């Protein structure tokens, strides 16, 4: 199967974020989280812990082979754990791995579910040109059965527009799609797969700039998320004023995201004229970033703010950023998002009410203005089939072990 992607990782490590979709095909964790966030066996078939939660034992799946053909041993897993999670003490014990820690390890299972350890996945790397191309081959000895695909040819660093063209021309079987191209991809009969809305698009004020809270609030209230969602994002994902998506937190709707132009004008009018100017920058790699930034500028103009949009401004007042949700656990996701947005680290809380309160406090100063939660969108070629969907997980990881290609007999018209 031919695959194209925008990211161009220079290395193919197990836990490099940029290479995570590919790494999920090659490396595997001890356990996985299912659609509900419940840990499910992967390399470990069972686990138990002592009452204090400071000693865990993970019983490894027998007969698992590494991509080099050797048998996976508890020592391999313990070494990989030590490297990926330095705060832990992992040792081999027979067919099991023992993990000890001084503190309580209440979130250990989440950590382990997000930490890919060894190369035992359904595909192995047969060739890698850093930043350009990865060739994966089916792991004949995969413990869950050989994948349907013989191999995957991944072209790295392909712009979204080129991916769409290649998809339409049949030059690729699997490509990323921008929200604006969703209709175009659909119109040509392509299957569109998506993750849950795991990408937070938000405006992040640069520390030390735009210090007047009225200015930040005026901008937040001026934004017409609905129009952007309908047109620029083709109704994909969801408009939001919360950090965590509704599907993850359950309370995102409680953060008002509607435009309040009157209030925004009043706030902007209370500012001195010189303080009504902002510079907005964006990462061109972020999907629809330029269109969204320019629309924010138009909305701000209606409120009486002058927002200058540039992709080059090094000292911008505010940035349009994209932060990816990488955990199915809301509390953990909150901590990760807050860290990515340079917000004060929230407490690791267990209840939804406490989580809401923590998020409310994070957003109180309007240093970050959440805009949308967007899913990963992929277009699949006409010959791509999935035996057991989904091929893309809620967090956007690829599951190509259940994908196969419907190859027409030779001599048949395509």
Partner 1 sequence: MTFRTRLLLIFSLTVVIAVVFVGAIVSTTTRRAFERLDEQRVAALTAQFRQEFLRRQREIARQVKDIAQADTTRDMVIGLTRPDAGASAYYEAAQPVATAHNLDFLELVSGNGSIVSSAQWPARFDYHEDWVTRRQDWDTQEPFLKREELPSDTALALVAVRMAQVADSKLYVIGGQALDREFLSTFVLPAGMRALLYREPQSVIDASGPVPQTAALAPLINEIRQRRTDLTRTVNWSGDAAGAETFHGIPLIGPDNELMGAFLVGSSRREQVGLERFLRRVEILVAAGGILLAVLVTFWTTARITRPVEALAAGARAVAGGDWHAQVDVRSGDEIGALAAAFNQMTGELLEQRDRLVQAERVAAWRELARRLAHELKNPLFPLQITVENLQRARATHPEQFDEVFRESTATLLAELGILRGIIGRFSDFAKMPPPRLETVDLNGLVRDSLKLFEAQMQAAGVELGLELAPDLRAIQADPSQLGRAVQNLVLNAIDAMPSGGRLTVRTIAKESGVRLEVADTGQGLTQEECDRLFTPYYTTKTHGTGLGLAIVQSVVSDHGGKIAVRSEPGKGATFTIDLH
Residue ranges that bind partner 1, judged by CB under 8 A: 180, 183, 224, 227, 230-232, 234-235, 291, 294-295, 297-298, 308-309
Nearest distance, CB of residue 302 and partner 1, angstroms: 9
- If DSSP states are collapsed to H, E and C, what string results for the chain? CEEECCCCCCCCCCCCHHHHHHHHHHCECCEEECCCCCEEECCEEEEEECCCCCEEEEEECCCCECCCCCECCHHHHHHHHHHHCCCCEEEEECCEEEEECCCCCCCHHHHHHCCCCECCCCEEEEEEECCCEEEEEECCCCCCCCCCCCEEEEECCCCHHHHHHHHHHCCCCEEECCHHHHHHHHHCCCEEEEEEEEEEEEEEECCCCCCCHHHHHHHHHHCCHHHHHHHHCCCCCEECCCCCCHHHHCCHHHCCCCCCHHHHHHHHHCCCHHHCEEEEEECCCCCCHHHHHHHHHHHHHHHCCEEEEECCCCCCCEEEEEEECCCCCHHHHHHHHHHHCCCCCCCCCCCHHHHHHHHHHHHCCCCEEEEEEEEEEEEECCCEEECCCCCECCCCCECHHHEEECCCCCCCCC
Nearest 5°: the CA angle 306, 312, 317 is 45
Between residues 299 and 327, which has the closer beta carbon with respect to partner 1? Answer: 299
Nearest distance, CB of residue 1 and partner 1, angstroms: 30
Q: Per the structure block, which two tokens stand in for 286?
A: 């972020």
Nearest distance, CB of residue 402 and partner 1, angstroms: 31
Between residues 91 and 277, which has the closer beta carbon with respect to partner 1? Answer: 277
Nearest distance, CB of residue 391 and partner 1, angstroms: 26
Between residues 283 and 336, which has the closer beta carbon with respect to partner 1? Answer: 283
Nearest distance, CB of residue 395 and partner 1, angstroms: 28
Nearest distance, CB of residue 197 and partner 1, angstroms: 18
Between residues 309 and 321, which has the closer beta carbon with respect to partner 1? Answer: 309
β-partners of residue 67 are none
Q: How far apart are CA 327 and CA 340, in angstroms?
A: 13
Nearest distance, CB of residue 168 and partner 1, angstroms: 16
Nearest distance, CB of residue 232 and partner 1, angstroms: 7
Between residues 140 and 230, which has the closer beta carbon with respect to partner 1? Answer: 230
Between residues 132 and 188, which has the closer beta carbon with respect to partner 1? Answer: 188
Between residues 226 and 339, which has the closer beta carbon with respect to partner 1? Answer: 226
Q: How far apart are CA 67 and CA 346, in angstroms?
A: 40
Nearest distance, CB of residue 298 and partner 1, angstroms: 5
Between residues 106 and 230, which has the closer beta carbon with respect to partner 1? Answer: 230
β-pairing, 151-155 with 2-4? parallel
Between residues 66 and 180, which has the closer beta carbon with respect to partner 1? Answer: 180
Nearest distance, CB of residue 180 and partner 1, angstroms: 7
* Whether the Cβ atoms of residue 241 and residue 202 lie closer than 8 Å to each other: no
Between residues 43 and 233, which has the closer beta carbon with respect to partner 1? Answer: 233
Q: How far apart are CA 413 and CA 405, in angstroms?
A: 16
């Amino acid at each position: 199967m031919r695959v194209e992607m925008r990211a161009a990782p220079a290395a193919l490590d197990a836990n490099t974020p940029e290479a995570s979709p590919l790494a999920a095909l090659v490396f595997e964790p001890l356990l996985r989280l299912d659609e509900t966030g419940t840990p499910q066996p992967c390399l470990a078939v069972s686990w138990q812990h002592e009452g204090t939660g400071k000693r865990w034992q993970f019983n490894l799946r027998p007969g698992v082979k590494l991509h080099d053909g050797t048998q996976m041993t508890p020592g391999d897993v313990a070494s990989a754990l030590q490297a990926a999670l330095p705060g832990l003490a992992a040792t081999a014990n027979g067919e099991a791995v023992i993990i000890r820690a001084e503190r309580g390890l209440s979130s250990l299972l989440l950590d382990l579910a997000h930490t890919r350890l060894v190369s035992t996945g359904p595909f192995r790397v047969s060739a890698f040109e850093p930043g350009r191309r990865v060739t994966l081959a089916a792991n004949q000895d995969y413990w869950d059965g050989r994948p349907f695909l013989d191999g995957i040819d991944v072209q790295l660093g392909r712009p979204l527009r080129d991916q769409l063209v290649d998809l339409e021309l049949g030059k690729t079987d699997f490509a990323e799609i921008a929200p604006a191209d969703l209709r175009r991809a659909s119109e040509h009969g392509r299957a569109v797969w998506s993750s849950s809305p795991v990408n937070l698009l938000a405006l992040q004020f640069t520390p030390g700039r735009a210090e007047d809270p009225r200015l930040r609030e005026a901008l937040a209230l001026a934004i017409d998320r609905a129009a952007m969602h309908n047109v620029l994002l083709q109704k994909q994902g969801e408009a939001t004023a919360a950090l965590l998506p509704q599907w993850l937190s359950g309370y995102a709707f409680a953060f008002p995201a509607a435009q309040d132009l009157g209030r925004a004008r009043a706030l902007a009018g209370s500012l001195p004229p010189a303080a009504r100017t902002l510079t907005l920058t964006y990462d061109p790699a972020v999907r629809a970033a330029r269109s969204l930034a320019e629309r924010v500028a138009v909305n701000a103009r209606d409120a009486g703010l002058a927002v200058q949009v540039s992709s080059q401004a090094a000292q911008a007042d505010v940035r349009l950023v994209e932060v990816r949700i990488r955990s199915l656990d809301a509390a953990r996701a909150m901590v990760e998002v807050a860290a990515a947005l340079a917000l004060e680290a929230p407490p690791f809380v267990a209840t939804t009410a406490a989580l809401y309160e923590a998020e409310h406090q994070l957003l109180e100063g309007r240093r970050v203005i959440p805009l949308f939660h967007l899913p990963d969108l992929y277009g699949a070629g006409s010959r791509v089939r999935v035996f057991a969907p989904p091929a893309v997980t809620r967090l956007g990881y690829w599951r190509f072990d259940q994908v196969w290609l419907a190859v027409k007999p030779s001599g048949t018209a395509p």
